[in-house]
Amino acid sequence: MHMNALVHPTIALLQANSLASVVQQAIEQAILSGEYIPGSKLNEATLAEKLGVSRGPIREAFRMLDEAGLVRTEKNRGVFVRDISLDEAAEIFELRAAMEEMVGRQLAGKMNEAQQQEVASLLDDMAQAVTQQNADAYHQLNLHFHDRLVEMTGNRRLLAMYRKLIKELSLFRRLNLGGADALPQSAQSHKDIFLAITAGDSEVAGRLMARHVQASKQRTVNRA
């Protein structure tokens, strides 16, 4: 008998879960990049053919995406990319503000030299994006800046919760930085946050990070 003819059930389960995870990541990336817009229906058969897998991993991936808050499953109708309402977006901004205030307080005076150099380099890249009026590049750097600060706290649970909120916010169609004209003010805000953190001023660092997120919330509400 060929050695691959029999597969232990545990190994088969691990293989299936691994495949579902890969499929989930592929669909998630397509959603976050805008390939599948909020409100659109995800077709199980089409995705199975596109990704070269059976429908089983697609169904498991849908379940994982539902738990992550990126899709909603409607009985007898199918799976749809979530469309975040303005009220939901505002609530997420409030949670972000509280989280980032905590991050600023925790990091103040505690960044090591390598971390400080990394963040300083990010700020240089952001300044260059401002000079070039490249809003798309700035947006990606902005996301990375905040993600790294949260990651630097070493709190894995906080990081997981933060990333979930950011993914949900990406589903809010009207969310943006306000164009190239808003970039200089945003860049200065990030620089001020970094200066407060490196100065070891936890109160100011926390306040500036919360205020920064609240400003993003207000811009979003004003444009809705």
pLDDT at 87: 93
Q: Is 30 part of a structural domain of the chain? A: yes
Instruction: Tell me the per-residue pLDDT of 82-119, one tens digit each, with 9 for 90 and over.
Output: 999 999 999 999 999 999 999 999 999 999 999 999 99
C-alpha span between 117 and 129 (Å, rounded): 18
Out of 52, 81, 110, pick the residue that ends a domain: 81
135-152 vs 183-198: helix crossing angle, rounded to 10: 20
Out of 38, 55, 81, pick the residue that ends a domain: 81
Together in a domain, 116 and 184:
yes
Together in a domain, 29 and 110:
no
Together in a domain, 44 and 134:
no
Confidence band, pLDDT 50/70/90 cuts, at residue 222:
confident
Helix ranges restricted to H, the chain: 9-32, 44-51, 55-67, 86-107, 113-131, 135-152, 156-169, 183-198, 202-223
42: domain CATH number is 1.10.10.10
Together in a domain, 74 and 180:
no
Instruction: Tell me the per-residue pLDDT of 182-214, one tens digit each, with 9 for 90 and over.
Output: 889 999 999 999 999 999 999 999 999 999 999
Together in a domain, 71 and 104:
no
Instruction: Tell me the per-residue pLDDT of 144-171, one tens digit each, with 9 for 90 and over.
Output: 999 999 999 999 999 999 999 999 998 8
- Domain of 41, in residue numbers: 9-81
Together in a domain, 120 and 202:
yes
Arithmetic mean of pLDDT over the chain: 89
Out of 63, 81, 99, pick the residue that ends a domain: 81
Together in a domain, 44 and 90:
no
Confidence band, pLDDT 50/70/90 cuts, at residue 178:
low
Together in a domain, 150 and 209:
yes
C-alpha span between 217 and 90 (Å, rounded): 6
207: domain CATH number is 1.20.120.530
Structural domains of the chain, count: 2
What are the angstrom distances between the C-alpha of 182 and each of 139, 179, 215?
11, 6, 11
Q: Is 155 part of a structural domain of the chain? A: yes
